[in-house]
Amino acid sequence: MNITIIGTGYVGLVTGTCLADLGNHVFCLDLDPAKIATLNGGDIPIYEPGLADLVQQNLAAERLIFSTDVQAAVRHGDVQFIAVGTPSDEDGSADLRYVLAAARNIGRHMESFKVVVDKSTVPVGTADKVAAVIREELEKRGRGDIGFAVVSNPEFLKEGAAVDDFMRPDRIVLGVSEDEPGREALAIMRKLYAPFNRNHERTRVMDVRSAEFTKYAANAMLATRISFMNELANLADRVGADIELVRQGMGSDPRIGYSFLYAGTGYGGSCFPKDVAALAHTAQEYGQELHVLKAVEAVNDVQKLVLVDKIFERFGKNLAGRRFALWGLAFKPNTDDMREAPSRVVIGALLRAGARIAAHDPVAVGEAQRVLALDFADAPALLENIHFAGSPMQAAEAADALVIVTEWKAYKSPHLERLKSLMKAPVVIDGRNLYEPWTMRDAGFSYVGVGRGSDRG
């Protein structure tokens, strides 16, 4: 099948490459010539395990095209995936300018029936706006006779596991209308996704607005679990309980399960913060206040400071002369994504308090340098007090404390004897609860986790 992907960001690039790997001919459109040149050279602008190899393989097989040619992109695909960014506006609403611009280009150039798929995460009602824009452009051309259907097909990709998530989906949500164009679109989408349904049916068909709502509802639920566990973890520190044992006790209840019950430094990335805010804003537009989601956001904002509070409690708020090792910059492992990363909050607070930082991350250093330059645009000289080490152990040299922010596998089993010998003081402040408190104490470390009852010892 001929497929067009509009936008070669995270979602668009993964979607287009994986569909090409299934034998489709995929045209990926982006208006950034530099990005297109990079992709046509076989390189990718993001870090995602396994994706670069798939891009190179499908470029070589001529199933994958990267181009800035809008007209060619619209002409190519029977199915047009809109996978552009929907950043948050200042009021928390999703900015649809790129989605509607993509729709406008489709209407300007289409010459035959198209299935237009909203793959971007968009608020309820966006499909109606996309359809109105396309219809407007067709009427301007005097081509109102050309048919189309707008489908909602939200993505459920986890950064760091996106290729596997796409190729082995838990579910495929299709929101379609019940009219004739909608039925035709559903048949086309079922054909496109048939390879994923051979073992068992994964497709969930519903009306368009319910499909749009599903993505936000899913992310809001996961964010709620994270913030709830973080609040419990903070209480556990006060009462002397161990949140890890509590988590195991809770998770063994099949009504609850273990997923997204880990305490830590709060959620970040491109999805949860943006989607929680957008859903709350949608509710306000309809005259409803989502009190739980407002609390989820508030808890997460506070939780990003939990490591800073623990550092200040131990060392005071004047950190001049102190040196900290920081392990982990990306908001989660297996990605270089620094959007809303808790590390940015920790680094900002420590540098502004006078500390020096030696940071390590397996893949996110380049992106971290870029975003930190923006974060410290008002005080660029402070960035002279952070440097990026080539290994975790190099970062730990002469450190007054090790601060763990991201749970990369490379940090899970360090050589404790060597780590202790390198540090100025054997203090570990673990924002991801990678280690057992008693193991660290037996090894001679002063250890503080999140909700491990560690404030007692």
How many other CB atoms are there within 10 angstroms of residue 239's CB atom? 8
The two three-digit tokens of residue 142, written as one number: 């005097």
Element (H, E) at 365: helix 365-375
The verdict on residue 7 lying in a domain is yes
Residue 280 shares a structural domain with residue 199: no
Residue 174 shares a structural domain with residue 283: no
Residue 391 shares a structural domain with residue 444: yes
Residue 230 shares a structural domain with residue 198: no
Identify the active-site residue in 229, 271, 346, 440.
Answer: 271
pLDDT tens profile 62-99: 999 999 999 999 999 999 999 999 988 877 788 999 99
Residue 172 shares a structural domain with residue 305: no
Angle at which helices 342-352 and 306-315 pack, to 10 degrees?
30
Sheet of 2-6: strand order equals 64-67, 25-29, 2-6, 79-82, 114-118, 148-152, 172-175, 203-206
Of the candidates 206, 239, 263, which is a domain's last residue? 206
Residue 276 shares a structural domain with residue 361: yes
Of the candidates 206, 234, 256, which is a domain's last residue? 206
pLDDT tens profile 367-380: 999 999 999 999 99
Tell me what pLDDT residue 198 has.
86
pLDDT tens profile 204-259: 999 999 999 999 999 999 999 999 999 999 999 999 999 999 999 999 999 999 99
Running DSSP on this structure, what letter comes out for residue 195? Answer: G
What's the whole-number mean pLDDT along residues 143-155? Answer: 96
pLDDT tens profile 400-428: 999 999 999 999 999 999 999 999 999 99
What's the whole-number mean pLDDT along residues 427-451? Answer: 96
271 flagged as catalytic: yes
Of the candidates 153, 177, 206, which is a domain's last residue? 206
Residue 266 shares a structural domain with residue 402: yes
Beta bridge partners of 447: 428
What's the rounded Cα separation, in Å, for the pair 120 and 86?
7
The verdict on residue 218 lying in a domain is no
Question: Has residue 454 got a pLDDT over 80?
Answer: no
Residue 198 shares a structural domain with residue 232: no
Tell me what pLDDT residue 155 has.
94
Percentage of residues in the chain with pLDDT exceeding 90?
95
The verdict on residue 300 lying in a domain is yes
Tell me what pLDDT residue 8 has.
95
Residue 321 shares a structural domain with residue 368: yes
Closest CA to 401 of 325, 306, 288, 304: 325
pLDDT tens profile 273-296: 999 999 999 999 999 999 999 999
Tell me what pLDDT residue 455 has.
45
Residue 182 shares a structural domain with residue 233: no
What's the rounded Cα separation, in Å, for the pair 400 and 253?
41
Residue 14 shares a structural domain with residue 89: yes
Residue 383 shares a structural domain with residue 256: yes
The two three-digit tokens of residue 102, written as one number: 């993509």
pLDDT tens profile 358-367: 999 999 999 9
pLDDT tens profile 185-207: 999 999 999 999 888 899 999 99
pLDDT tens profile 116-139: 999 999 999 999 999 999 999 999
Question: Has residue 265 got a pLDDT over 70?
Answer: yes
Percentage of residues in the chain with pLDDT exceeding 70?
99
Domain count for the chain, please give it. 2
- Structural domain of 381: 226-456
The verdict on residue 220 lying in a domain is no
Question: Has residue 457 got a pLDDT over 70?
Answer: no
Taking phi over 0 as left and psi of -120 to 50 as alpha, with beta for the rest, 453 belongs to left
Q: Are 196 and 172 in contact (CB under 8 A)?
A: yes
Closest CA to 142 of 116, 117, 111: 111
Give the length of the chain: 457
Which CATH number does the domain housing residue 439 bear?
A: 3.40.50.720
pLDDT band at 167 (very low <50, low <70, confident <90, very high): very high
The verdict on residue 240 lying in a domain is yes
What number of CA atoms fall less than 13 Å from residue 171's CA on the CB side? 12
The verdict on residue 169 lying in a domain is yes
Element (H, E) at 288: none
The C-alpha angle with vertex 185 and arms to 131 and 164, in degrees rounded to 5, equals 100
The verdict on residue 38 lying in a domain is yes
Q: Indicate the average pLDDT of the chain.
A: 95
The verdict on residue 217 lying in a domain is no
